[in-house]
């Protein structure tokens, strides 16, 4: 069995979304004759509230090593990024693991973006091949990065210098989709071919079999309602979809075509500067049935909320390359899914292949607002009244699973490591 060292500063019990990239891949590596070794930072150095239930989702075969970091700054925040705070500790610990465990390859998911630097440094000192995995784009991946002298602009300027350094000696570039790292290939590997692979987060079916005892459902104060749940961050380019969604619900209520027992719960939408979901709801006279809670919820809590809901809502982005990893947890809730996506989003194909697109509204940039809203409204009416049969083919999701993603990664690793 070959040995893969995964370096990612956050790990269970951290509740950050990126944790699941390393966790899901590592959960299946031993099935393909690769032993995962995860180097991370001790949870006491994390800034977010720990989620100890998340430890239940980690495959016991994964070997995890914890190291120290600088404590996060309390008052003057020059930097809080955990990779920067832990950089020397991660480097030292990685060299020790490489020596003792006979590591064959180093795989580094980003962000945190600065962890990528370790790949180049460790390769220089140990000659072990390494790869960088793009959960998010690094260069030009910051919101408003083109506005001079903003924090995003400074970060992007730094990224444009650090990314070429970090990937120059890499043997593999991977990412949650090819679109997320295509720019890396264009900028750095025009004349030097490199192995690369795009694979989604996917899912581990075992996560959905974990039932938590005694958790409070968000709609506990309204036990007779039909809760629809949207779970996850509210995206900058989802506002157009949300506005039309709320306008459609308001029109259905006016026309007396709405089921008034339905309540919409937007959970874990995060911190964002634009108009809030709650404000959109108020503008459209839906404040009595729309509830937004921006707090970060524990991963297994969200899965349990989805499974206990009457329906699940997934609102995508007007960007065609947006890949919604949340589509898998939504489908595996085994509850009907109402969704809006760009017609070229990979999520559309996933829904179609799994026979789960009966309540899907596809967005075309060429379509008028009026026609698009009319289709949203029709789908909403059908969803609210269960007018279409919901019989997904879950077996068709297998090729999008974390197991399939782990195999795609291993296939590339086996080409590099003979």
* Per-residue pLDDT tens over the stretch 364-379: 999 999 999 999 999 9
* Per-residue pLDDT tens over the stretch 198-215: 998 889 999 999 999 889
CA nearest 296: which of 115, 126, 47?
47
β-sheet bridge partners, residue 35: 3
CA-CA distance, 404 to 393, in Å (whole number)? Answer: 17
* Angle, CA 181 vertex, CA 20 and CA 102 arms, to 5°: 60
- pLDDT band with cut points at 50, 70 and 90 for residue 326: confident
Question: SS3 of 332, please?
Answer: coil
DSSP conformation letters of 304-351: HHHHHSSEEEEE--SSTT---THHHHHHTTTS-EEEEEETTSHHHHHH
Contact (Cβ atoms closer than 8 angstroms) between residue 16 and residue 43: no
Q: Average pLDDT of 75-86?
A: 75
Q: What is the largest CA-CA distance in the chain?
A: 70
CB count in 10 Å sphere of residue 16: 19
pLDDT of residue 241: 97
The number of residues in the chain equals: 418
pLDDT of residue 79: 63
pLDDT of residue 153: 82
Asked if pLDDT for residue 77 goes beyond 70, the answer is no
- pTM beyond cutoff 0.75: yes
pLDDT of residue 76: 54
pLDDT of residue 188: 93
Lowest mean pLDDT across 282-291, 390-399, 401-410 = 390-399
Asked if pLDDT for residue 300 goes beyond 90, the answer is yes
Q: Please return the burial class of 143, using the count of CB atoms within 10 Å of its CB with bins 0-12, 13-18 and 19+.
A: exposed
Q: Average pLDDT of 271-293?
A: 94
* Per-residue pLDDT tens over the stretch 10-39: 999 998 889 999 999 999 999 999 999 999
CA nearest 217: which of 200, 199, 229, 203?
229
pLDDT of residue 214: 86
Asked if pLDDT for residue 78 goes beyond 70, the answer is no
- pLDDT band with cut points at 50, 70 and 90 for residue 271: confident
CA-CA distance, 262 to 221, in Å (whole number)? Answer: 14
Query: Which H or E element spans position 407?
Result: helix 402-416
Which domains does the chain possess? 2-204+401-416 (3.40.50.2000), 207-397 (3.40.50.2000)
Across the chain, how many H-helices and E-strands are there?
12, 13
**Distance between the two ends of the chain, CA-based, in angstroms?**
12
């Amino acid at each position: 069995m070959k040995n893969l060292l995964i370096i990612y500063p956050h790990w269970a019990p951290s509740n950050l979304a990126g944790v699941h990239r390393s966790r899901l891949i590592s959960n299946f590596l031993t099935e393909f004759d690769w032993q995962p070794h995860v180097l991370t930072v001790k949870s006491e150095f994390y800034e977010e509230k720990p989620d100890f239930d998340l430890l239940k989702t980690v495959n016991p075969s994964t070997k995890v090593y914890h190291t120290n970091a600088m404590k996060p700054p309390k008052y003057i925040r020059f930097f809080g990024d955990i990779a920067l705070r832990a950089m020397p500790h991660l480097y030292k610990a990685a060299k020790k693991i490489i020596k003792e465990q006979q590591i064959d390859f180093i795989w580094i998911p980003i962000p945190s973006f600065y962890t990528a630097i370790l790949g180049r440094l460790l390769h220089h000192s140990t000659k072990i091949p390494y790869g960088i995995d793009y959960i998010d784009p690094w260069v030009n991946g910051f919101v408003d990065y083109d506005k001079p002298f903003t924090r995003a602009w400074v970060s992007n300027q730094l990224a444009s210098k650090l990314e070429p350094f970090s990937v120059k000696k890499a043997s593999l570039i991977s990412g949650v989709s090819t679109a997320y790292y295509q720019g890396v290939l264009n900028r750095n590997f025009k004349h030097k071919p490199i192995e690369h692979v795009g694979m989604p987060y996917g899912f581990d079916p075992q996560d959905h079999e974990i039932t938590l005892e005694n958790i409070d459902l968000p709609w506990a104060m309204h036990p007779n309602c039909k809760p629809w749940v949207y779970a996850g961050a509210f995206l900058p380019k989802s506002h157009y979809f949300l506005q039309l969604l709320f306008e459609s619900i308001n029109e259905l209520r006016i026309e007396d075509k709405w089921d008034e027992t339905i309540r919409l719960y937007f959970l874990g939408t995060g911190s964002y500067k634009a108009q809030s979901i709650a404000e959109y709801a108020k503008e459209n006279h839906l404040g009595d049935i729309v509830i937004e809670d921006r707090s970060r919820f524990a991963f297994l809590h969200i899965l349990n909320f989805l499974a206990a809901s009457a329906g699940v809502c997934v609102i995508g982005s007007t960007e065609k390359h947006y890949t919604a990893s949340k589509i898998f947890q939504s489908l595996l809730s085994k509850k009907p899914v109402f969704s809006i996506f760009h017609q070229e989003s990979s999520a559309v194909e996933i829904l179609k292949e799994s026979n789960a697109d009966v309540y899907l509204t596809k967005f075309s940039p060429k379509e008028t607002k009026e026609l698009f809203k009319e289709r949203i409204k029709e789908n909403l009416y059908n969803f609210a009244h269960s007018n279409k049969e919901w019989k997904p083919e879950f077996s068709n999701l297998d090729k999008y699973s974390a197991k399939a993603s782990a195999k795609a990664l291993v296939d590339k690793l086996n080409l590099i490591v003979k």
